[in-house]
Structure 1
Amino acid sequence: MDTTTLITLGAVAVVLVGGAAVFLWRRSSADERESRRAHEAAQEREPPVELGETYEFGVTEFTDHHSGERVAVGKVEGFVVFTEDVPDSVREGDVIRAKILSFNQGKTSADATFVETA
């Protein structure tokens, strides 16, 4: 291969890598903006759940949340509920019932305790 071909291939590679980087950066920025908008909208509305009440919802994921223990995450009308004391047999996609115990400071999510599998 001659020098001109190598330089051309190198330039093409730089353009492709640069284009991919810009695409990923813009995509992540759009995701971050949408997440910020959703969070701000959640702060503006009243929670669709009430303390002491039991709600049914699907488990979307598990996290360690604040306690460091396995906590199920789900949503009630788009409102995030973190549920503790969930049995190990419960998996993502399972529907559970949980009792709301408290809200976070901005009332954009709630903590709950597991009641039963629906």
Structure 2
Amino acid sequence: MIFSEQVTIVRPGRKRGDYGGWEDDWDNPTEIPVEYPVSVQPQASQSEETTTDRAVTDSYRLFTPPPHQLPEDVVSGDRLRVDSWGITLIFDGTPLRWRTQILPHTEADLVLVRGVRK
């Protein structure tokens, strides 16, 4: 079965920053469970090095089963916890919504950034 991952959308809370403006509060996020299983597929890995650090970025692609769509307010920077894997990915761009009559669904690019100190 291709649609086998249970996921939760994780969105930051909002709090007043040190200078009076609003900023993301990842200590108090809002969790939005997705009611149906999805497919999360690995795409690629890239490595980037500086003189002191090395980061590896793993890319993934999410597919919803037709006719399901992710919520309209999901934006780049929101997170997706793949509950069945125990990892949290970051939405990389706005999800794409296919609204065709035959196979309506959502696709979204996701990333996982792992940093390693040398």
> Normalising by the residue count of structure 2, what TM-score does the alignment of the two structures yield?
0.27
Structure with higher strand content:
2
Instruction: Give the structure with higher Rg (CA).
Output: 1
> Normalising by the residue count of structure 1, what TM-score does the alignment of the two structures yield?
0.27
Structure with higher helix content:
1
